[in-house]
Amino acid sequence: MSYEEDILQNLPSSLLDFHPVPLVKRDVVKVQGKFFFLGEKKFFLKGVSYGPFSPATHGAPFPERQVVEKDFGLIAELGANCLRTYHIPPDWLLDLAAAYGLRMLIGIPWAQHVCFLDSPSLQQEIRQAIAHGVKACRSHPAAFAYVVGNEIPPDIVRWYGPERIRAFVKELMAVAKESDPEALVSYANYPCTEYLNINFTDFVCFNVYLHREKDFRRYLSRLHNLSDDKPLVLSEFGVDSIREGTEAQAEILSQKLSSSFEMGAAGTVVFSWTDEWFTGGFAVQDWAFGLVDQERLKKPAFQMVQQYYKAVLPPMLPEYPKVSVVVCAYNAERTMDSCLASLKKLNYPNYEVIVVNDGSTDRTLEITQRYDYARLISQENKGLSAARNVGIAAATGEIVAFTDSDCVADPDWLTYLVGKFLSSGVSAVGGPNLPPPEDSLVPACVAVSPGAPVHVLLSDEVAEHIAGCNMAFRREALLEIDGFDPVFHAAGDDVDLCWRLQDKGYIISFSPAALVWHFRRNTVKDYLKQQRGYGKAEALLYFKHPYRFNLLGQPCWSGRIYGDLSAVVLRQPMIYSGVFGQGLFQTLYQSPASLLSYLPLTLEWNVAAAILFVSALLSGHYLWVGGALFVTSFIWCVSGARRAPIEPCFRGVKARLLVAQLIYLGPLVRSIERYRWRTRILTKVVPIKFADY
């Protein structure tokens, strides 16, 4: 008898009363950007923690089988689809979970509260524990993912230093992947050691206990930015019903779940399922975090969590203002079909799509005409800004959203954008743009090289700049500043618009879950052409906003540029909070980016290096001076290339060298074009003529 037949023929009797869908085969949940997907459908993790428990008669640290069966029936009734455990579940428990349609986030315990890096033998035991735990559950339908560590204490982290701990956790992840290459693996961090920056896992897990909604939402924004382009799972949050009361427990959990899913979390795990809790060799009696008590009687929190876990996700918005999506296209036949197909599938009930065909000479018009839901406007080629202004004039929505013809929107893109408008009251909101997976080495390297559209954040929630391929504005704000400046034909229009809005006192917000997939340039030639276009745009911007540029004519940002590989961090963040850095919530103080952090990649630096080197070569003295400057530039490029998130299948020396070359060439090409256009504009300036007296 096959495993699938065995599951179906041996369903527990309690399943006769309702009908969860059993997991009869291993359907691998995959990561795509900031969300999980099961096949083509987005999969939100809706979990509860299960355990730890005292060992039962079967020897495992889980309740007796009949209690587990009752628990799983209630958990399925709750609407949950995941259990987080803190020990390796035995086969019979995995089978029961599969029968109830529950996936398991499996924690693998090891001695993380001792100085484990001092003992090679203990390290080997930990590696073996990870390998054994993964192999024990490998290929089981109920095995969702593995957690290879949970809240390493801050004194241990500070004693060894974050880098050594990071390296060891990364090693444990590799052990888990070797045991099950298809498995998803993570590490459960918490605010005390936020500075660990575990950014190499498949998804980001954070345990967060904050009861005040405002504080929780602010920290959630921070976690989204820390997780960057990966799913964020709140792997623990809960409320003690002894100290807070059962009604307050329900209310606080409601706020946490509402905020989490509204702001784009990929999953949540409520701590915990039951008040029965056993740790350190003792049953805990003075805490009661469970949704049910030790007798499995439901608390008010059960019904409250059930409302969210059984509802449609992301949550319904209180209102759905009309949104006009404007797509400007010029010779976009390569990506136009994918773009319009994605916009047709948006999960938003009140929107229109306006395509402005800006004089395309390829099949862009023909492709667009296949999509009768989109309103098509064709004109002779006038440039990107002029085309966007045509879209604004045609828009009938109170919010105007822009994406590019080489972008594919996430199905919930508009929901998260509009949700941010409604919750913050701002007039401009942007989101991230991520490169889709590439199928060859050169496009994969170009996709992660600096110079692509990025967002710049002043704080975790306020942006200084949002990328033109993923931005939305209240139409009245656009009209107040007369829309986009037509002088910008291909780039720079979004930067100019953001700066003019800020000059008017508007605040620009950022929604990390409102993402689009942005196809990058797929050849080195196209990449360098793009950088030349950005150089021209910077020259035009300089004459409109001179106070926003440094002495070298480069934009001077006040915020943090996300995804930038060209700057080298010269000083690590300092940890100040709490005695010996053990405060509950760490604040990292990092010096703002300075000219020195990217000076070796500037045109001026390299021209000076060339002059010094040639002079030394002619004189026969001090050759090392010019050589040292070039070596410094080389180190900057290699440092950026090492940090580049190249797809695993293309990682290697060849890919790193190509990225290093692009890190070096991009700023040079950009600077040359910037100087060329600044000179051209200055030569057209009409001198002031003074009257003769």
The helix/strand/coil state of 220 is: helix
Cβ atoms of residues 84 and 103 within 8 Å: no
Domain boundary among 456, 491, 521: 521
Please check whether residue 534 lies inside any domain of the structure. Answer: no
> Token pair 């089988």 is at which residue?
65
Cβ atoms of residues 14 and 100 within 8 Å: no
Cα angle: 279, vertex 280, 282; to 5 degrees: 70
Domain boundary among 521, 536, 567: 521
Residue 576 confidence (pLDDT):
43
Cβ atoms of residues 145 and 105 within 8 Å: yes
Tell me, yes or no, whether 364 and 266 share the same domain.
no
The enclosing H or E element of 269 equals strand 267-270
Please check whether residue 610 lies inside any domain of the structure. Answer: no
**β 374-379/428-430 pair status:** unpaired
DSSP states of 641-656: HHH----GGG-SHHHH
CATH number at residue 222: 3.20.20.80
Cβ atoms of residues 8 and 22 within 8 Å: yes
pLDDT digit string (tens) for 150-172? 999 999 998 999 999 999 999 99
> Token pair 């001695």 is at which residue?
111
Residue 457 confidence (pLDDT):
87
> Token pair 């939100």 is at which residue?
44
* Amino acid identity for residue 238 in this structure: G
The helix/strand/coil state of 326 is: strand
**β 560-561/456-457 pair status:** antiparallel
Look at residues 259, 225, 635 and name the one whose alpha carbon lies nearest to residue 455: 225
Residue 104 confidence (pLDDT):
97
Tell me, yes or no, whether 289 and 337 share the same domain.
no
- From start to end of 411-519, where are the E strands? 428-430, 433-434, 456-457, 462-465, 470-474, 508-510, 516-518
Tell me, yes or no, whether 120 and 214 share the same domain.
yes
Tell me, yes or no, whether 67 and 184 share the same domain.
yes
Please check whether residue 480 lies inside any domain of the structure. Answer: yes
Look at residues 155, 219, 150, 237 and name the one whose alpha carbon lies nearest to residue 188: 150
Cα 40 to Cα 51: distance, rounded to the nearest angstrom: 33
Cα 568 to Cα 357: distance, rounded to the nearest angstrom: 41
Cβ atoms of residues 49 and 269 within 8 Å: yes
What letter would DSSP give residue 431? -
Residue 7 confidence (pLDDT):
43
Cα 44 off chain centre by? 15
Cα 640 to Cα 664: distance, rounded to the nearest angstrom: 10
Please check whether residue 350 lies inside any domain of the structure. Answer: yes
Residue 301 confidence (pLDDT):
97
What letter would DSSP give residue 687? P
Tell me, yes or no, whether 388 and 292 share the same domain.
no
Average pLDDT value over all residues in the chain: 89
The enclosing H or E element of 674 equals helix 653-683
Cα 358 to Cα 338: distance, rounded to the nearest angstrom: 18
CATH number at residue 418: 3.90.550.10
Residue 43 confidence (pLDDT):
96
Cβ atoms of residues 497 and 546 within 8 Å: no
* Amino acid identity for residue 288 in this structure: A
Cα 557 to Cα 348: distance, rounded to the nearest angstrom: 34
Domain boundary among 500, 521, 542: 521
Residue spans of the chain under pLDDT 70: 1-19, 560-596, 685-693
Cα 430 to Cα 437: distance, rounded to the nearest angstrom: 22
Cα 498 to Cα 425, 484, 494, 671: the distances in Å are: 17, 10, 6, 22
Tell me, yes or no, whether 386 and 355 share the same domain.
yes
Tell me, yes or no, whether 241 and 366 share the same domain.
no
Number of domains forming the structure of the chain: 2
Tell me, yes or no, whether 366 and 276 share the same domain.
no
Residue 687 confidence (pLDDT):
67
Tell me, yes or no, whether 211 and 297 share the same domain.
yes
Tell me, yes or no, whether 268 and 327 share the same domain.
no
Tell me, yes or no, whether 305 and 327 share the same domain.
no
Cα 652 to Cα 608: distance, rounded to the nearest angstrom: 32
Please check whether residue 341 lies inside any domain of the structure. Answer: yes
Please check whether residue 629 lies inside any domain of the structure. Answer: no
Give the domain range for residue 123.
Answer: 3-309
233: left (phi over 0), alpha (psi -120 to 50) or beta: beta
Name, in order, each residue with C-beta under 8 angstroms of 160's C-beta and a sequence gap of 6 or more. Answer: 115, 117
pLDDT digit string (tens) for 246-270? 999 999 999 999 999 999 999 999 9
Task: Give strand pairing partners of 278.
Answer: 283
* Amino acid identity for residue 402 in this structure: F
Give CB contacts under 8 A, 24+ apart, made by 175-182: 175/127, 175/130, 175/131, 175/134, 175/148, 176/108, 176/130, 176/131, 176/134, 176/146, 176/148, 178/131, 179/130, 179/131, 179/134, 179/135, 179/138, 180/134, 180/135, 180/138, 180/139, 180/146, 182/28
Please check whether residue 636 lies inside any domain of the structure. Answer: no
Q: Up-side HSE of residue 7: CA atoms within 13 Å toward CB?
A: 22
What letter would DSSP give residue 426? -
pLDDT digit string (tens) for 431-458? 999 988 888 899 899 988 887 778 888 8
Tell me, yes or no, whether 29 and 177 share the same domain.
yes
Cα angle: 504, vertex 509, 510; to 5 degrees: 150
Please check whether residue 668 lies inside any domain of the structure. Answer: no
Cα 244 to Cα 133, 213, 307, 508: the distances in Å are: 37, 15, 21, 37
Cα 234 to Cα 603: distance, rounded to the nearest angstrom: 45
Cα 70 to Cα 67, 89, 100: the distances in Å are: 5, 17, 11
